[in-house]
Amino acid sequence: MNIEAAIAARNEFRIGEVAIRFEGPLGIISGPRMGSTGPARVASDDLRELVRTDDHGRYRPLPGARTMPGGWEVRCHSADELLDAIDAIYPLALRHIGQHERGELRVIPLDEVLRRQSGRYAVAASLGVEGRKAACNTLCGRCVRTPVWCEAALPPGGIPCPEPCSVLVSLCREAALWDTSPPAPSAPVAGLPFARFDIPGNEVRETYLADRAGAPLAGSPSLNATALPGDDALVG
Ligand code: SF4
């Protein structure tokens, strides 16, 4: 999908968890989970702040996480305002989509990212291939982006992710420590900080641990099986 072309033609489209439609001179972005009472009107200048937290007020360290607050819409008065609003919601997504379409997206594999870590994150590089696969499956499965860095195929309308993000590196660090000293599983606790993988009950942590134990948690999102990375995509 070429988003600039869709906007120029005033064709509705979706990107990640939001929908874009056109009414008269306006381009309107709608968040997820529209209630029956109608959406809250948000100014485009306030959008970046709005999407910093989820419906429970938790900070969203991963802009692509499927935890977008719901029930809002933004009315944009020009194509530039609309493009800026999308960039506030999903930083760099438009640039990466364009680069992917032109075959210019620079992709960096997980092993390269883990090997360049230092200090407290250096241990992340010791995570084995099965742990890397489980970390990718657990975290990227909760993200609207498609990790093309692990050779996942970009679906139509998808947002390519060219490089493992810092949240994934953080999960790999914890997972490497768990490999040497496996923690006891806990029941997931709703409302814990998204990226505090060191806290028992963190949903991502418990999903990862269950996956590694061969007992996936029911209802947990994960990457499409065909998108799971092959071993070559995860090790140097
Ligand atoms: S590495 Fe995975 S979780 Fe992080 S931004 Fe990319 S697709 Fe999303």
CA pair distance 44, 18, nearest whole angstrom: 14
Number of domains in the chain: 2
29 exposure class (CB count in 10 Å sphere: 0-12, 13-18, 19+): buried
> Would 101 be classed as within a structural domain?
no
Torsion of CA 139, 140, 142, 144, to 10 degrees: 150
Q: What is the pLDDT of residue 2?
A: 85
**Measured between alpha carbons, how far is residue 128 from residues 25, 57, 173, 193, 207 in Å?**
53, 35, 11, 26, 18
Whether 162 and 85 map to the same domain: the answer is no
Q: What is the pLDDT of residue 197?
A: 98
Out of 100, 133, 139, mutate this one to test ligand 1's pocket (max ligand atoms within 8 Å of CB): namely 139
Check pocket membership of 165 for ligand 1, CB cut-off 6 A: yes
**What is the H or E stretch that residue 180 is in?**
helix 166-180
Per-residue pLDDT band at 227 (split at 50, 70, 90): low
203 CA to centre of ligand 1 in angstroms: 16
> Would 99 be classed as within a structural domain?
no
Whether 25 and 63 map to the same domain: the answer is yes
Residue the block writes with tokens 């360049």: 116
**Domain end (from 91, 119, 142):** 91
Q: List strand residue ranges (DSSP E) for 90-195, in order.
A: 145-147, 159-161
**In contact, 227 and 149? CB cutoff 8 Å:** no
Out of 89, 114, 136, 165, mutate this one to test ligand 1's pocket (max ligand atoms within 8 Å of CB): namely 165
For atom 2 of ligand 1, the residue with the nearest CA is 140
Parent domain of 188: 110-233
Answer whether residue 235 shows pLDDT above 90. Answer: no
147 CA to centre of ligand 1 in angstroms: 6
Q: Which atom of ligand 1 is nearest to the CA of 136?
A: 2
**Measured between alpha carbons, how far is residue 94 from residues 82, 90, 107, 157, 161 in Å?**
12, 8, 16, 11, 11
**Domain end (from 60, 91, 122):** 91
CA pair distance 82, 134, nearest whole angstrom: 36
Check pocket membership of 64 for ligand 1, CB cut-off 6 A: yes
Whether 158 and 215 map to the same domain: the answer is yes
Q: What is the pLDDT of residue 230?
A: 61
Per-residue pLDDT band at 231 (split at 50, 70, 90): low
Q: What is the pLDDT of residue 226?
A: 45
Q: Which long-range contacts (CB under 8 A, 24 or more apart) does 186-192 make?
A: 188/217, 190/56, 191/56, 191/58
CA pair distance 69, 203, nearest whole angstrom: 18
Check pocket membership of 109 for ligand 1, CB cut-off 6 A: no
> Would 105 be classed as within a structural domain?
no
Whether 85 and 190 map to the same domain: the answer is no
- pLDDT 10s digits, 202-225: 999 999 999 999 877 767 776 654
